[in-house]
Chains A and B, each alone.
Chain A
Amino acid sequence: MAAPVIQIENLNLHYGAFHALKNVNLAIGAREITALIGPSGCGKSTLLRCLNRMNDLVPGCRIEGAVRFEEKDLYARGVDVCGLRKRIGMVFQRPNPFPLSVFENVAFGLRVSGLTDRASVNAVVERSLRGAWLWDYVKDKLGAPALELPLDQQQRLCVARVLAVEPEVILMDEPCSALDPISTAKIEELMLELRAAYTIVIVTHNMQQASRISDRSAFMLMGEMIEAGGTLGLFTKPTDKRTEDYITGRFG
């Protein structure tokens, strides 16, 4: 495993009375793809959303333990949450571009950061679209409404929108669940390409996907981290009976 960039330590999360994450520990290696797998409701998306503090927006959500990003606890007092979210970006389950043009979608994060210089905005937008393998498709229709793009291009646009704020880590919450197999393959290829420069954490229901693209996998069940390790090892020689039952399709 590569040197860990994020370390989750004894993380407990409650939604009101519901104990959603139970004493979770996990290390996420730099420039690797880590897949969080497990059945619906096991807490994998919740865990993902702890990494960029999106759970802060959920009323009644309580978090104990630590998430260390480059040694510093994200949940310590005085952490600049907005700055943090620029360093740890997120791609959501459903492609969710704003009802704006292709260009303005990618530029959104820059506008928020107050970058107004037209030439630099143009440069960043082009670089981000290239990074998401979308430039060749949209370079002639940057002004077109983003919602007119096909779904997989919309999802890649969402990736480009994240790339534009120059994150170090990209969190992906089932990024392919709304896409057909061909579009899924394109996004997976893109993820493997992005791995060279970014740390990626992906939540997926799809075990083939996890085995195809991830370097490390972590299996969760009912809020607990059951097993984590190299993807090949986890899928061929799981140490825990429950992991084996899940990956062989006995439940889930």
Chain B
Amino acid sequence: MRIPPKASQAIAVALLGGATLLTLAVLVFVIVFVLGKGLPVINWAFLLDVPREMGKAGGIFPTIVGTLVLPLVAIAIALPMGVGTAVYLTEYTRPGRVTSVIRFGTDCLAGIPSIIFGLFGYIFFVTILRMGWCILSGALTLAIMVLPTIIRTAEEAIKAVPNSYREVSYSLGATRWETVLKAVLPNALPGIVTGVMLSVGRCIGETAAVIFTAGTALRLPDSLFDSARTMAVHFYILAREGISNENAYGTAAVLVISVLIVNSVSYWMMHKFISGRSA
């Protein structure tokens, strides 16, 4: 039996619309749930005070600092490496055996669970290099973790830059490096920023790899060689150890809000940049 076209159309609209609605509903539910439980806990003291009694009382200020610093350092390490790799793969080599091996490697790296990166970071940075649990160990580990994301998004962004820009640049006497710097990368920037945003999101939400490498110290870190705790880790420990569900939700709410702020600000900046450059 054939379904009449009008009916199949109606069914398609219902299914697709339903799928969209469901996705949206889940997102809204999660945010409302977390904010509903967490917002009542949040006040200036919660944001700006140090934790007391392992986080049962007091605020979460050091974990906010940890959450800001760890991804920042990680991106500062991963961005030049990742974009450099992407530029090398796209602009300096022709597709061949070597590039496909490198691409295969980065794809494998992308599929590895974060706990494995945590273990690697613990063995290599913390133990072998004797860096101990510290922000730098954590950031290096996170950098390795997000490197594939940054490489692949940067690569796609660079490939999407019209070839005519390269041609014009070369025809005006630019070298390969000048062409990359002045004609390719500025036009690939929106794509690269997207990769960075994805990476920042992963770093902020990461727990396993961070606990193993940056530790869980609740003290406010003095330097990159101090151990630190991020909000995600703090939330995990508060909930896991049954210290304070209230404060756990408070932390989660701050986490969700900061992710929203980071994303909004970066999209706004990107939009401003793009509209400043082109029609």
Contact = CB atoms under 8 A, between A and B. Distances in A.
Interface of A: 52, 54, 57, 59, 82-86, 89-90, 92, 94, 96, 98-100, 108-109, 111-113, 145, 147-148, 158, 161-162, 165
Nearest to A164: B172
Given A98-B183, A99-B187, A148-B279, A161 B170 contact: no
20 contacts: A52-B171, A54-B171, A57-B166, A57-B170, A59-B94, A82-B173, A83-B173, A84-B173, A85-B170, A89-B172, A92-B167, A96-B165, A96-B167, A99-B187, A99-B277, A147-B278, A158-B168, A161-B168, A161-B172, A165-B172
A113 B178 CA distance: 10
Interface of B: 94, 162, 164-175, 178, 182-183, 187, 277-279
A108 B169 contact: yes
Contact of B278 (A54, A86, A99): A99
A113 B175 CA distance: 10
Contact of A145 (B162, B171, B279): B279
A101 to B, nearest CB: 8
A112 B178 contact: yes
Contacts of A111: 182
A57 B278 CA distance: 27
A24 to B, nearest CB: 21
Contacts of A92: 164, 167-168, 171
Nearest to A110: B172
Contacts, number: 70
Nearest to B175: A82
A85 B171 contact: yes
Nearest to A144: B279
Nearest to B181: A112
B158 to A, nearest CB: 15
B165 A112 contact: no
A98 B172 CA distance: 13
A112 to B, nearest CB: 4
A112 B182 contact: yes
Nearest to A52: B171
A112 B167 contact: no
A99 B277 CA distance: 6
A200 B162 CA distance: 27
Contacts of A98: 165, 168, 183, 187
A54 B170 CA distance: 8
Contacts of A112: 169, 172-174, 178, 182
Nearest to A83: B173
A113 B173 contact: yes
A162 B172 contact: yes
Interface centre among A52, A83, A112 (most CB of B within 10 A): A112
Nearest to A59: B94
Contact of A82 (B162, B167, B174, B182): B174
Contact of B164 (A83, A85, A96, A148): A96
Contacts of A96: 162, 164-165, 167-168
